[in-house]
Structure 1
Amino acid sequence: MNNSGKSKARILAVSGILGAISIVLGMTPLGFIPVPTAAGHATIMHVPAILGGLLEGPIAGAFVGFIFGLHSFLRAGSPLFADPVIAILPRIFIGILAYYSFRLTKSVALSAAIGTLTNTFGVLGLAVAKGYLTLPVAAGIAFTHGLPEVIVAVVVTTLIYSGIRKRR
C-alpha cells in the first residue's frame, strides 16, 4: 500500500479500465454527445482521464490521459492529431490538473471543468504555437466547441464520481 492507502494493483486496475473505456469511447459514437454547435458534438473521451485523477491520483490520471492521447494519435484524422506532441502531451495533463484542483477545492465539478479546459487549451494552444491553426480560429473552436464539452464533462463526471464514491 502507498501512503494514501491505495494499492498499486488497484491503481493499475482502475487506470487500465478507464484507459479501455477511453478507447471504446473513441472508437464508437458513445464518446461524442450531440450539441448544437458547428462541430455537432462534444467529446467525453477526456472524462476517464479526469476520473482517473479524481479517484486514484495524478499518476493514474496521467496514464489514462496518455492512453487517450495515444489513441487520438494512432487514429488521427487530421495533420493536427498526427503530431504526437499535440495529440498526446496535453492529454497527459488532464488527470493531473483535475487531481490537484480537486485536492485544493474538493469540487468535482470545478475539477472536471479544469480537466476539460486543460484538454481544450492544451491542444489548441499547441496547435497555434506549431502553426496548425491561427489564434482567431483556435479561439472560435475553444468557445463553440470547448464550452459545450465543459458543460457535458461537468455533468457526466459529477454523476459518475458520485455513483462510484457511494459504492466504495
Structure 2
Amino acid sequence: MELDTQKITLVGILGAVTVILGMTPLGFVPVPTPAGSATIMHVPVIIGAILEGPVVGGLVGFVFGVFSFLRAGNPFVADPLIGILPRIFIGILAGYSYKLINKESVAVGLAAAFGTLTNTIGVLGLAVWRGYLPLAAAIGIGFTHGLPEIVVAIIITILLVKVLNNIR
C-alpha cells in the first residue's frame, strides 16, 4: 500500500487530535463508573482505519501509543511494549474488521467496538503478562472501564464517520 499525500495528512491530523484529546479534558467523557470517565483518545485511530485503511489506522495508533508512553500516568503504560504496541493494533484490527462487513453503519460500529476492545484487552492483557496487574484486577478494570468505553466509542465513531463521509 502506498502512502500518498492525503493519507499522510490524515495521519498527521488525527495524530494531532489524539494528542489534544490526551492533553485536555476533551479526551475523557464522564460516565457513571468507578473510573468516572471513558477515554476517547483511541477514536481518531479507529476513524483513520475506517477512512483510509489499516495502515493509516496503525500509524495513527503509533502516534497514540508514543504519546501514551511519553505521558504515562501509571507504571505499566511506561513500558513501551504495553504503551505503544496495543495502540498500533487498534488501527490494524479496526481497519480490517471494517473491511469485512458490507453494511456501512454496522461496519463502523463493529470497527469501533473491535478497536476499543483491542486497546482494553491489549493493554490490560500485556499488563498481566508483564506482571504489573493481577488477572482479577485486569478483568475488573476491563468490565467497569472497558464496556463504557466501547459504548462511547461506537456512538462517537458512527456520528463522526457519518459527518466525514457526507463532507467527502
Query: Which amino acid letter does the alignment assign opposite residue 71 of structure 2?
Result: R
Q: Secondary structure at the match of 2:29?
A: strand
Query: Which residue in 2 is equivalent to 1:10?
Result: 6
Within 2, Cα distance between the matches of 1:136 and 1:27? 30
**Structure 2 counterparts to residues 1-168 of structure 1, below 5 A:** 8-106=4-102, 107-168=107-168
Shift of 1:29: 0.1
Residue segments in structure 2 that go unaligned for 5+ positions in a row = none
Shift of 1:133: 0.5
Within 2, Cα distance between the matches of 1:139 and 1:79? 18
Q: Secondary structure at the match of 1:50?
A: helix
Within 1, Cα distance between the matches of 2:110 and 2:74? 31
Tell me the TM-score normalized by structure 2: 0.95
Q: Give 4+ residue runs of structure 1 displaced > 3 Å after superposition.
A: none
Tell me the TM-score normalized by structure 1: 0.95
Within 2, Cα distance between the matches of 1:142 and 1:117? 9
Q: Secondary structure at the match of 2:33?
A: coil
Instruction: Count residues in correspondence.
Output: 164
Which has the larger displacement, 99-108 or 45-54?
Answer: 99-108
Shift of 1:78: 1.3
Within 1, Cα distance between the matches of 2:87 and 2:29? 19
Within 2, Cα distance between the matches of 1:140 and 1:85? 22
Shift of 1:57: 1.1
Query: Which amino acid letter does the alignment assign opposite residue 33 of structure 1?
Result: V
Residue segments in structure 1 that go unaligned for 5+ positions in a row = none
Within 2, Cα distance between the matches of 1:136 and 1:43? 22
Shift of 1:58: 1.1
Q: Equivalent pairs: percent with the same residue?
A: 61
